[in-house]
């Protein structure tokens, strides 16, 4: 089975469409790690596409707050404004669908998915120290998480976490063949609001038969996504940051 793994789309239709174009013919099933909405100006369209294609979705913190399951007072000002705008922009059915998204982790044959961490959907796994004990909380040898908007892969099979390569500036992809003994924590990065100083949309492909993991970046119509954000009257900062990937 070949899976397309996407996370943190955040209402960015232009980025999601670029990912789908780029990965066309390379996957059988889409898996989404949450935060479909918030920040970007196309939440309704993004939800429609994910609902059409994804075999499994876990909720993110923005999905949870947008659906009214949590207060927004712990969000920063821009995120709070975006959540309120998004809530008003979504139809009732989409809001209901968001409210019913499961909390991770969800388990599959050979892998699991969560938004932040397997033990806490809101945990940010950024540094090697952050992931030191994550393997002990995993039920499968491969775990996909999002939330940080940073494309990262750690091999957790040794004494210390070891970072594996992801595509650098100007590189399209990293291909990793995964050994049967590996224990991997994979963040595919953010489709719609990358924060690793690379403005390109990020995603991953996992072929469980070939045991090949691909981390990929693809350029998208950033100007178009920015235009929609500004036309929606969302904070300009949310448009500007897309060009810098942070
Ligand atoms: Fe996010």
**Which CATH number do you get for residue 124?**
3.60.21.10
Residue 147 zone, left/alpha/beta (φ > 0; ψ -120 to 50; rest): left
Distance 145 CA to ligand 1 centre (A): 11
| Element holding 205 (H helix, E strand) | strand 201-207
Structure tokens that stand for 68 in this block:
């009214």
Distance 193 CA to ligand 1 centre (A): 8
| Calpha distance 126→85 (Å, rounded) | 29
Residue 161 sits in which domain range? 2-244
Per-residue pLDDT tens digits for 133-187: 999 999 999 999 999 999 999 999 999 999 999 999 889 999 999 998 999 999 9
Distance 147 CA to ligand 1 centre (A): 5
pLDDT confidence of residue 71? 87
Number of structural domains, the chain? 1
Structure tokens that stand for 156 in this block:
């957790």
pLDDT confidence of residue 73? 82
Q: What is the mean pLDDT of residues 194-212?
A: 97
Distance 181 CA to ligand 1 centre (A): 30
Share above pLDDT 70 across residues of the chain, in percent, rounded to a whole number: 100
| Calpha distance 124→238 (Å, rounded) | 21
Per-residue pLDDT tens digits for 26-77: 999 999 999 999 999 999 999 999 999 999 999 999 999 999 999 888 888 8
Find where tokens 């590189």 sit. 171
Structure tokens that stand for 204 in this block:
């991953």
Find where tokens 């030191």 sit. 132
């Amino acid at each position: 089975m070949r899976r397309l793994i996407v996370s943190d789309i955040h209402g960015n239709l232009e980025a999601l469409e670029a990912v789908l174009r780029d990965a066309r013919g390379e996957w059988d099933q889409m898996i989404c790690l949450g935060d479909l909405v918030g920040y970007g100006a196309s939440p309704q369209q993004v939800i429609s596409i994910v609902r059409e294609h994804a075999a499994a979705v876990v909720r993110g913190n923005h999905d949870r707050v947008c659906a009214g399951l949590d207060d927004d007072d712990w969000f920063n000002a821009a995120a709070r404004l975006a959540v309120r705008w998004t809530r008003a922009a979504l139809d009732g059915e989409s809001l209901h669908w968001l409210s019913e998204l499961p909390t991770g982790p969800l388990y599959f044959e050979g892998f699991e998915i969560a938004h932040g961490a397997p033990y806490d959907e809101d945990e940010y796994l950024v540094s090697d120290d952050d992931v030191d004990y994550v393997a002990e909380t995993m039920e499968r040898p491969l775990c996909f998480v999002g939330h940080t908007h940073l494309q990262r892969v750690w091999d957790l099979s040794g004494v210390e976490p070891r970072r594996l390569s992801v595509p650098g500036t100007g590189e399209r992809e990293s291909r990793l063949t995964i050994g049967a003994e590996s224990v991997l924590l994979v963040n595919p990065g953010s489709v719609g609001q990358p924060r690793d100083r690379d403005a390109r949309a990020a995603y991953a492909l996992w072929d469980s038969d070939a045991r090949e993991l691909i981390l990929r970046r693809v350029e998208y119509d950033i100007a178009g996504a920015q235009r929609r954000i500004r036309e929606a009257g969302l904070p300009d900062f949310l448009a500007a940051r897309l060009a810098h990937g942070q």
